[in-house]
Structure 1
Amino acid sequence: MKRAFALFAAVCLLALTAGAAAAQDKKILAIVVKGLDNPFFEQINLGCQKWQAENPDSEYTCLYTGPASSADEAGEVQIVDDLLTRGVSAIAISPSNAPAMGNLIRQRAPDIPVMTIDADFVEADRSLRATYLGTDNYLMGVKMAEYAAKLKPAGGTVCLQLGNVAADNINARAAGFRDTIAGTKDVDRLDGQNGWTEISGCPVFTNDQIDLANQQMADTFTANPDLDAFILVGGWAQFAPQAYAQVTDQVMDKLEARDLIIVAGDTLPPQMQALKDGRSHVQIGQRPFEMGYRAPSVMIDLISGNQVEDPLYTGLDECTIENVAECVAK
């Protein structure tokens, strides 16, 4: 009996060792996001995991990684640099600091496919990557502006909450919002166009920090009791539902009367609950799960030399208080 058990254990150990070796032998498709502390990016991870589960026999494995903090721009650049040194088959990057990441790719000149996901390089650096997979961020800003104009047809005072100063996707949304609400292109700041004016001290930059986003909202509401609109170009503050509820508690009467409107990006579950509770009026949702799910297949196509469109947009979801029951978070 002991001999039989020992033989069984040895067989199991060999099987486990072979499985580990097989996993190690797989070629790596890397997805690098701005920060692992952001629940938006966890949806990209879940998409990556689903692709992995559906393709167990693939010669490739999907690796999801990024710096611990979304505020660590240098850390993200270092991770990409390390992956290129380590050796991966392809890489999809959501650059927090687009110019810095573009500079790294230019210097390294990797001979593997490089694509962007969720956030793109600045326009001057887009020849450095094969394609972009994610949201049409300018259009996202356009949609935010269209809903703000519908809710406040006479215009009013507005504060935009942005992320990192050098994040191309966030800057594109801000440009889409300003151009649309102003009715003219290349508007750097709203100063009365179509009745809209950005208040002093805005825009505010969260650096992708959730606690800072909520503090900025609270401070803005306190300092500007007659504010007409607050635009969360990304969903940062809403990712901490308890803190966001405390911030919006101080203006709930204004939100209910629509004296103050809140238009926000993304449609994760806590954000949809905030919409249901009347703590925002519009949520313009991206589809991060789809980004993570599609990215490995796109990278394999690039490795294989197949024709890949550029850009690859994943669409938007427009959720309002009126359609919240039917609007599904992506």
Structure 2
Amino acid sequence: MIERPTIFRPLGLLAAVLVFAAVLGAAAPCSAKDRLFVIVAKSESDRNFVRVYNAAKTEAEAHGDRMILTGGKDKAHFRRQNEAIREVMRQEPDGLAVSVLHSEFLAENSFKVVHAAGIPVVTFDSDFAEPYLSLRAGYIGVDNVELGRELARQAQKIRPRGGMVAIMTGGLDDTNLNDRIRGVRDQLGLGLSGSGWTLLARSPIPCRDNYDQALGQLEVLLDDPEVSVIISVGWWAQMANGYEGLVGRYRRSLSRGEKVLVFAGAHPRQRELFAKKLGHVNIGLDFEEMGRLAYRYLARLADGGTIPKVTYTPMDVLSQDCLYAPAR
């Protein structure tokens, strides 16, 4: 038997080590990918949250990860959202991006499971209320108090003499909507003597995310001679099929500034209505950027990195002072 020179043994071992390392190196990127992240919407049926999801999904797939959408279908409700979180946790996701409907309820229910799992969480569009901020690593979205202030500023520009304002909202428990309402109140000085502005007694008026109900509420407000400014902190009435026909009947009041319509949101449908001069103000939110950042931040957290506590996305203000030439 010929004995092989011992000098070749280390080289053989080295070659084996190099081959093994190469295999591990090739496999490492794959093992770090195919992670599952989740967009938890207020409602999967809401087109704005679909925009967030589509942007997040595109970003995730470009990096070899997966993104799914949950939150409950049809009308938004915090109990549906809570159950959706419980259900998706059974899939052992690598991170959640949540638009919060009811901070306390989530904290006392599904988020006990989330916390026990130790997975990364970010919020977008609607953050946790102050006592529960520790439940997320960071918030992505518009500064909702500032959005409320901007809605009010635009109303002040169009009607500087003040008047009675009605505020329309979705749900009374929504953190982001309540922050917008707070911004409106602060900017108009509601409740302060000498501000020139008063709040309609039954405001804020909730529609529970029902477009047709919001349209009916808008009609009542347009018919009320005491109400001069209507500020909706969301898009609901403008997304109803009958909005154009309803508001068209009030063109003279709108053109004279006797009625001022101000809406949060600049969905393509809302931009179309604005172009037709069927509203004074629309303020848009960048839902696509929320989606992209939601994925990037969750991926960074899953890799052991850190993210900012708050990341504000921009607003897009559309405003027109006079809708129609005064009647002769």
TM range (shorter): 0.7 to 0.9
Contact 2:82–2:110 (CA under 8 A) maintained in structure 1: no
The residue that corresponds to 1:46 in the other structure is 54
Paired letter, 1:234? G
Q: What per-residue deviation string (whole Å, max 9, x for no partner) do you get for residues 206-256 of structure 1?
A: 11111111111112222x13421000111111123x321122123221112
The residue that corresponds to 2:21 in the other structure is none
The residue that corresponds to 2:102 in the other structure is 97
Whole-angstrom CA distance in 1 between matches of 2:43 and 2:194 = 36
Query: What are the equivalent positions in structure 2 for 1:180-329 lying under 5 Å apart?
Result: 180-182=187-189, 190=191, 194-222=195-223, 224-240=224-240, 242-321=241-320
The residue that corresponds to 1:328 in the other structure is none
Paired letter, 1:291? M
Whole-angstrom CA distance in 1 between matches of 2:100 and 2:243 = 27
Residue 126, structure 1, aligned to residue 133, structure 2:
yes
The residue that corresponds to 1:107 in the other structure is 112
What TM-score, normalized to structure 2? 0.83
Residue 143, structure 1, aligned to residue 150, structure 2:
yes
Contact 1:160–1:232 (CA under 8 A) maintained in structure 2: yes
Paired letter, 1:97? H
> How many Å apart are 1:313 and its aligned residue?
1.0
The residue that corresponds to 1:116 in the other structure is 123
> How many Å apart are 1:66 and its aligned residue?
2.1
Contact 1:256–1:278 (CA under 8 A) maintained in structure 2: no
The residue that corresponds to 2:83 in the other structure is 78
CA distance 1:234–1:190, shift in 2 (3 Å):
farther
Contact 1:262–1:282 (CA under 8 A) maintained in structure 2: yes
> How many Å apart are 1:263 and its aligned residue?
0.9
Contact 1:158–1:199 (CA under 8 A) maintained in structure 2: yes
> How many Å apart are 1:271 and its aligned residue?
0.5
SS of 1:86's partner is coil
Contact 2:83–2:110 (CA under 8 A) maintained in structure 1: no
> How many Å apart are 1:79 and its aligned residue?
0.5
SS of 2:83's partner is helix
Contact 1:157–1:229 (CA under 8 A) maintained in structure 2: yes
What TM-score, normalized to structure 1? 0.82
Number of residue pairs the alignment of both structures matches: 289
CA distance 1:138–1:320, shift in 2 (3 Å):
same
> How many Å apart are 1:192 and its aligned residue?
5.4
Higher mean displacement: 66-75 or 284-293: 66-75
Instruction: Please report the RMSD computed on the Cα atoms of aligned residues, expressed in angstroms.
Output: 2.0
Residue 88, structure 1, aligned to residue 93, structure 2:
yes
> Is the radius of gyration larger for structure 1 or structure 2?
2
Q: Which runs of 5+ in 1 are unaligned?
A: 1-21, 183-188, 325-330
Contact 2:222–2:259 (CA under 8 A) maintained in structure 1: no
SS of 1:200's partner is coil
The residue that corresponds to 2:186 in the other structure is 179
Whole-angstrom CA distance in 1 between matches of 2:183 and 2:96 = 28
CA distance 1:192–1:71, shift in 2 (3 Å):
farther
SS of 2:317's partner is strand
Residue 28, structure 1, aligned to residue 36, structure 2:
yes
> How many Å apart are 1:106 and its aligned residue?
4.7
Contact 1:163–1:208 (CA under 8 A) maintained in structure 2: yes
Paired letter, 2:55? G
CA distance 1:202–1:310, shift in 2 (3 Å):
same
> How many Å apart are 1:36 and its aligned residue?
2.1
Contact 2:52–2:288 (CA under 8 A) maintained in structure 1: yes
SS of 2:258's partner is coil
Whole-angstrom CA distance in 1 between matches of 2:295 and 2:264 = 25
Paired letter, 1:219? V
